Every structure is written in structure tokens, then in C-alpha cells.
A and B are shown apart, each in its own frame.
Chain A
Amino acid sequence: MNRPLRIAHLYPDLLNLYADKGNILTLQQRMAWRGYAVEIIRVQHTDDAKPGEYDLVLLGGGSDREQELVGRTLRRNVAEWKAAVEDGLPLLAVCGGYQLLGEYYQLPNGTKIPGLELLDLRTEAGSPRLIGNIAIQSEVGIILGFENHGGRTRHRHAPLGTVISGHGNNGEDGQEGVRYKNVIGTYIHGPLLPKNPALADMILQLAMDYAGISGTLRPLDDRMEQAARQAFMERRMELAPAVLQHK
């Protein structure tokens, strides 16, 4: 029997704005349905994070007030985070968490909230907020969801995908999210993983490989996931069937 996959959920006590629960549930259930054990570690902001002990890390978003507190908390062990990421630790960061991976988040008044500096990435507050349904083309096919962010993010890494419909990182360069080693950052929630099972499985496989747990994830019955994707693309993205076929 393999040891359980250790998934750290960072600061659920501060960051629960964008339905993190959906992402956690998806990772947890998709492992359970395949007979793998998972341990969810809820890291409170008063705890000391131990990046070296996790197989997968989830970092969500919160309001500006909570965001600053999270930034401060994370920077307490920035060296360990950096080492783990360079070593291949899978990390999924959404919305505010995505912004925190970079150098800073600049508020409208010019104040810069410092980030973790794990990535060559900067965010500046902009107006109006970029809100709405979004679809992007990525290495695991089309990723679907909802975005709602004031920040405009620019970086020097590969994006998670290119925007088919919606705003993306900054509403200008047609890119959405970031991919660096096994770090994935994105503005897409809704939440992200339930309706994007291919992405969920990619992240889980990365985590298993990183953890040294042997095995390849077998396909699951994703008919309900596919039905939700299909309905969303037809009713909400108004994407032509030709685009859908193209994965």
C-alpha cells in the first residue's frame, strides 16, 4: 500500500473567496475513486508551513486585507518555498494566490504588496475589474471557468494557456495564467478543477511523480464532467462545435 498523497491547503482560514473547497474536493475524490489515499493538510495562518513535507500545494484567493496577511505569512519561509518549487513541488495558485507568487501586487495608490518572488511576475491593480466566463486553450485541452480580478498580471514564463474567450492575465496579451516547472497559476475559478478534470488529473499525476508514488492514473467515468463542459461551452461561451471537437 502506498503512503497517502499529502495535499496542503494553505490558509483556508483566510483564503476562501473562490470556492477552494471545489478544488480540494475534486483532487480528493478523483484519488479516492481510484483507490489512492489522500491526506489533506489544512495549514492555518498561525501554523508554520513546511514546504518540504507536501506533495501538492493549493493557494487560493482572498480580499486585499487577507491577501496582505497571507503574503507576510508565506514570506516567513521564502527560502524553503523557493527550494521546493525548484525541486519540482506541484503548486496550484488561484486568483490572489497567483498574484502572490510574483514580485509584488501594486495597489491603485502605488503601494506595493510584496509577493513570494518565486516567479518573474508582477501584478498591478487596474480598472475595470475583468469579470466573466472564460475559456483558454492549454496543453490539456480547453480550460473553462470564471474570472474576476482587478489585477493585471505580466510575467516572463510560459502561460497556462491562450485565451479563446475572456480576458486572461491582463486583458491585452491574450495569455492566461502561468506555468513554471510544476507551478500553475491562474485567474480561473468557478472553481477551476471540477469542470476541468484533465487539468486535475495532470496535477495529480505531477504530484504522484513528485511524491514517488508509483502508478499511472486510470481514466474515470467523466460523463457528468463532459456534460457540464459541453453545456457551458454551448450556452455560455457560444463556441462553435468545431472548436469543441478540437479538444
Chain B
Amino acid sequence: MFGIWVGKWVLWILNILGKRATSLPGKVALRISPRLLEKLGAKLERCIVVTGTNGKTTTARLLAAAMAEEDAIVHNREGANLPQGLATALLKHCTWTGRLRCRTALFEIDEATLPLVAHALPIKVVVVTNVFRDQLDRYGELDTTLEKLLDGLRRTDAVAVLNADDPLARHIGLAYGKQVVYFGMSKDQLQHEVRDQMRDGAFCLECGHELVYHGFFYGQLGDYHCPQCGMFRPHPDFVGHPHPQGLTVSEGSLPEVTIALAARGLFNRYNALAALAAARVVGLDIASVQAGFRRYEPPLGRMQAFETSPPTVLNLIKNPTGCDSVLQTIRADGDTKVVCIAINDNAADGKDVSWLWDADFELLTEDPKTVRYVTTGLRAEDMALRLKYAGCPTDAVVSIPDLATALDEALLQADACEAKTVYVLSTYTALYPIADRLQRRAHSHEPSPAYRPSVS
């Protein structure tokens, strides 16, 4: 009880100070009452969990928007997905006497955190978006991540909502042994020509043999099977047909449903498909899902546009596969552009920046329309070096460790070479300061001509 009090006090003070309160109140409360999650978790009727490497925050927000159509829910919407973040979200929805105002919680949970909190929450559904390589220094290796996910899942009786196109997720489904629902993209979307990108699922986890692919969607996602033991991509219960305006989904023999999505990129369509599948498993009707998705607000740094001059588009990058999908989207933009890349190596970013060399930055350096680069953050110079070895002329790159100065320089350079867009890529801890700066730059200027009302 005392822990709840103190946590609420911290929350209250942070609110007064106008600070973001996503982890600290929970951290303090957990230090005083280590069993706080168990206590508050016991008051929930059900808990839905979204985990996986990429797309957790977006998927959880889409699902939250759909679920909020029916009832208020507890949700760690800022993506603080460690125990202190979950505790903070619960504290926000409980009274000073410890009563919880909602019966349902929707938590985005870090893969390594799931086994630590699974016993404390009435978890009914677990969505695994995908399993890619992420932050080796935090988890050791990919195998450990898989083990943690499985371990966490086994501590529940949840329905697992898994990505059929991901052989690593398929392994989880087979090893879990309880109820599993799969989502996946339509086979007519398969790419048969592939770049030399990282593929984490190249080997069958059932028998160790090399997997055979009929084609790829992106990363290791594709239509795979194992010629030795017969492991194969299951036919998805929810099949997505992506198109420029969004996604059409078929669910068994039910009529097809079309979802409008503003965000670009195949990875965003995967997130929407995962959220829709989970919403249906939770029991929502399609009308609520559609209405919810329409009200969805994208989290910070997912193809987020700022009205600077020229306009800026901000993207979070944190591992090779996620980064590659962003790079592909930038390359697909046929106009002249400047790219600013912010790399920090604080604990929340991952202290090991080796992954920059696995990401396919050649996608940009081979693109004649990407004309200039500004690298920034604590590892600005490492990023510049990556671009140099990717074949970028050294005079097209400038390193400016200070984030604000770097953004100003990127906008200046964009002006000078008449670029239509500045794409900003950023690791986690640089994201908020960058968004702040861009917001300020957007306000400090006259609105660009495109947004001015006609005076003719």
C-alpha cells in the first residue's frame, strides 16, 4: 500500500513539473513494494501482451485504439516496457486507496521482461510481432531471446498470436503447444529477388537444417519450409493483402475487411495485421477495430512528419531489420533528399553499435537521390565511417555530435541542394530530444507555401 502511495506521489509531482512519467513512479514504487505488480495485477480481469523485436509499440497502440472503443484500458502507450513501465501504467489508473479503475490491461512487454512478470498478470493473449536480432549486449544472443519468450509464454495459458511468415515465431508456436493463432501476408506479395540482408531464421530450429524459401516479404519473413524435418509456414488464420492505402484482411470464410492506414511501409501493415488478429481473438467486432484504427495516433518516430522547411520525417532505428525496412522506404522516395542519422549508445539504445554494419546502408549510398548526410549523437563518427565504407564520398558526410546543431545543419544543407525532404533516423535515446527540436523548428518558421491558404 505504501508503495502505491509513494508511486502516486512521484507521478503527481512529475505531472506538476510537466515531465514525462513513464518509468520513474513505478521504479520508486517497486523499490518500496517489490510485490506491487502482483498486487495490482490481481485486480485485473485480463491482460493482453504485445511482445517481439520490432513493431511492439505501434501494434499495441493500434490494438489499444480498437479496445478503447469498447472499454477503458490500462496501457503503457509510451512503450516503457520493463517492469517499472508496467507498474507506472497501473499506478496511473489506480486510486490513492489502491483501487484499479480498469479491468483490462494492454501491455507492451520487452521479450526479456515477459518471464519476470508473467506470473503476476492474468495474461489471456500474447502477440509476438516478430523475432529479429536486437541489442546483442542486452540479451547475449538471439537464442536467448527466443528462450526468454518461450519461457514467458509457458508461464501463461494465453492464446499466442504469432507471425506465420517468421520461422522463429513458428518455432515458438510449435514449442508452446497451447492455442496458437497465426497472421501472415498473402503469398502474392512474395519478393523473389533479394539483397544480401541479414536473415536470422535461415536455419530450422527444429532440426538445424537450412531452410528453403519460395520468396521473402522482408528480413527472414517469407514462405519457408525445412526439407529435412518438414517444418513449414502454416497457413495464416488472418491473411493480409497490403496495398498503398492500407490493408485488406481475410479471416477464414468471413467477408474481406479493408483497413485504411496512413503510415507507409510493409512493416506497418504487419503491425496492423497483428493488431487486428489480436483484436479478433480478444473478441472485438470488426466495426470497433476499424473505428479504433481510424483514431490511432502513431507513436513518436514512426515515419513521423514535421512541418519544417523542407519537411522532416523522423524514424526510430534500433536493429538491422527494422533499419533496413526504413531505408527501403526512404529509397522508394524518388525525390532529392538529405538524411540525418543520430546514433547514441546509452543503455536503452544498446551499447554495442556493431549492428550498424549489418544494416544495409548501401540502400542509401547507391541511391543517387540521397545527396547529403549529417551524422550525429554520441557515435556520430562511427556512423560517418559506416557511410564511408558503404561507398559514400567523404565530402557528402558531416559529423556533428550535438543533436540540435546537426538538425539545423541538415535543414540548411537540404535548402542548399533543394532537397524535398530531410529523413531523420534515430536510436531511442536521441528520439525525444530530436522530436523536441523538430517541433520547435516547425513552429519557428512561417508555414511552408504548401500549407498556406490560397490568396489568389
Interface residues of A, Cβ cutoff 8 Å to B:
13-14, 16-19, 21-22, 25-26, 29, 46, 63-66, 69, 129, 131-133, 146, 148, 150, 189-191, 194-195, 221, 223-225, 227-228, 230-232, 235-236
Q: Which residues of B contact A13 (CB under 8 A)?
A: 202, 210
Q: Does B157 contact A (CB under 8 A)?
A: no
- The CA of A64 and the CA of B140, in the complex, are separated in Å by 11
**Is there contact, CB below 8 Å, between A236 and B345?**
yes
By the criterion of a CB under 8 Å from any partner CB, how many residues of chain B are at the interface? 36
Q: Given the known A-B contacts A25-B389, A146-B351, are A16 and B358 also in contact in the complex, defined by CB atoms under 8 Å?
A: yes
Q: Is the CB of A132 within 8 A of B351?
A: yes
Interface residues of B (CB under 8 A from A): 136-137, 140-143, 198, 202-203, 208, 210, 345, 351-358, 378-382, 384-386, 388-391, 394, 397, 399, 401
Residues from chain A with Cβ under 8 Å of B137 in the complex? 131, 146, 148
Q: Looking across the interface, which residue of chain A has its beta carbon closest to that of B354? A: A19
Contacts of A227 in B (CB 8 A): 381, 384, 399
Judging by beta carbons under 8 Å apart, are A146 and B354 in contact? yes
Chain A CB within 10 A, most for which of B137, B385, B390, B394: B385
CB distance from B332 to the nearest CB of A (A): 23
A146: contacting residue among B141, B352, B358, B378, CB under 8 A: B352
Of B136, B203, B384, B389, the residue contacting A26 (CB under 8 A) is B389
**Residues of B contacting A26 in the complex (Cβ-Cβ under 8 angstroms):** 389
- A123 to B226 alpha-carbon distance, docked (Å): 33
A/B interface sample: 6 pairs, CB < 8 A: A13-B210, A18-B354, A19-B354, A146-B352, A148-B352, A236-B378
Q: B352: which A residues are within 8 A, CB to CB?
A: 146, 148, 190
Tell me how far the C-beta of B16 lies from the nearest C-beta in chain A, rounded to whole angstroms: 35
A232 to B382, Cβ gap below 8 A?
yes
B200 CB → nearest A CB, Å = 9
Residues of chain A within 8 A of B382, CB atoms compared:
195, 228, 231-232
Cβ–Cβ < 8 Å partners of B354 in chain A: 18-19, 22, 146, 189-191
In the complex, the answer to whether B381 meets A231 with C-beta atoms within 8 Å is yes
CB distance from B226 to the nearest CB of A (A): 15
CB closest chain-B residue, reference A131: B137
CB-nearest residue of chain A to B138:
A131
Contacts of B356 in A (CB 8 A): 19
- CB-contact partner of A228 in B210, B385, B391, B394, under 8 A: B385
What is the bound-complex CA distance between A15 and B369, given in angstroms?
34
Question: Which of A131, A194, A224, A225 is within 8 Å of B357, CB to CB?
Answer: A194
By a CB distance below 8 angstroms, the chain A residues around B355 are 19
Instruction: State which of A19, A69, A225 has its C-beta within 8 Å of the C-beta of B385.
Output: A225
Chain A contacts for B390, CB-based, 8 A: 25
Considering residues A18, A69, A132, which has the most beta carbons from chain B within 10 angstroms of its beta carbon? A18
